[in-house]
Structure 1
């Protein structure tokens, strides 16, 4: 596990000597803290869902997806196959659960087909 020490101000030598173990964080914890501090964690998770769409939903669905974006906790999805669109409309709740499980929190509340 990578450990990261959060350092505030002052000279680096003095701080590293006086650094307490309680101030050590893993890299994951430090990144999570950074995302929460700047209030961009939700946007980061939304971007990850869009970027990993093929990995999450599979190659077949991804290849038929022509437009994909998230706004106000709604996933907007445009497909070039009406048959696939009908199938996915019937599985909306499953898609929401799958994406939210992947993100680790509630990022999507609704799926809108364009």
Structure 2
């Protein structure tokens, strides 16, 4: 608790990072952050072709409406996972599983 009390000002991002590091449900929170930035990260077109995005055992599961888009997203899954993990500052996604 003493690390939150200080006489000197602290940047908000640093204070938030300190709080999240100690937050007991940090992974759950970051999973929610990933779901909320999905469209922003993959783009409107891919996001429009996906549905029922959720986590199963550390994997991000994405359901795709069209089999052609399934192949496209499957090929890009590593770069998408890397971008999402970078945006939340932690390796939350182990793998992206694409289902149709």
Matching residue of 1:20? 7
Matching residue of 1:10? none
Root-mean-square deviation (Å): 2.0
Alpha-carbon separation, structure 1, partners of 2:23 and 2:40 = 28
Q: Which of the two has higher C-alpha Rg?
A: 1
Matched, 1:55 2:40: yes
2:50·2:65 contact (CA, 8 Å) conserved in 1?
Answer: yes
Number of residue pairs aligned between Structure 1 and Structure 2: 97
Shift of 1:88: 1.3
Task: Give runs of ≥4 in structure 1 deviating > 6 Å.
Answer: none
1:42·1:107 contact (CA, 8 Å) conserved in 2?
Answer: yes
Alpha-carbon separation, structure 1, partners of 2:78 and 2:10 = 36
Matched, 1:33 2:18: yes
Larger RCO, structure (CA 8 Å, separation 6 or more): 2
Unpaired runs of 5+ in structure 1? 1-5, 8-18
Matched, 1:85 2:70: yes
TM-score by length of 1: 0.72
Shift of 1:20: 3.4
Shift of 1:37: 1.6
Shift of 1:102: 1.8
